[in-house]
Amino acid sequence: MALNTTAAQMVARARASIEEIETADAIALLQDPDVVFVDLRDVRERERMGYIPGSFHCPRGMLEFWVDPDSPYFKPIFGEAKRFVFHCASGWRSALSVALLNDMGFACAHLKEGFSTWEQQGGPVVRPEDRRQTDGKGPTA
């Protein structure tokens, strides 16, 4: 079955209309208290690959509902006067998500190459084993 529009075409259209942040520039934003990194990846991806320190996890399937202040699922973090930088693994889901959010009137950007280049370019990563060691639920000797 041929599609009228492919996923790659949708991503290309989204990228043409949104703010994209290069990985090195995003790493530099990490210490800015007015920037919130939002991780759209599945929880299993976060557990397997780690995540950006301080990032807020918002599963892609709940995004529109968590951002909408009129939704019963609204998350107050999205009502804060912050700059939001969304990311996924490779930048495809986040590009589509940011285009959709911009259409909703929610200004935001996305990490152009996603989490895939974050660690390669020197970005810090929290791994699940790191979290367990610091929250008292880590392995015992």
Structure tokens at 21: 């942040």
State the SS3 of 14-71.
HHHHCEEECHHHHHHHCCCCCEEEEECCCHHHHHHHCECCCCEECCHHHHHHHHCCCC
Concatenating the DSSP letter of every residue in 94-136 gives: HHHHHHHHHHHT---EEETTGGGGTTTTT---B-HHHHHHHTT
What is the predicted pLDDT for the residue at 10?
Answer: 97
* pLDDT, tens only, 28-50: 999 999 999 999 999 999 999 99
Query: How many angstroms separate the CA atoms of 25 and 63, rounded?
Result: 24
Report yes or no: 79 and 57 within 8 Å, Cβ to Cβ: no
Residue 141 has pLDDT above 50, yes or no: no
Higher-pLDDT residue of 99 and 131 is 99
Residue 113: CB partners within 8 Å, gap ≥ 6?
Answer: 22, 23, 90, 91
The whole-model pTM stands at 0.89
Over residues 55-106, the pLDDT tens digits come to 999 999 999 999 999 999 999 999 999 999 999 999 999 999 999 999 999 9
Under CATH, which number does the domain 8-134 receive? 3.40.250.10
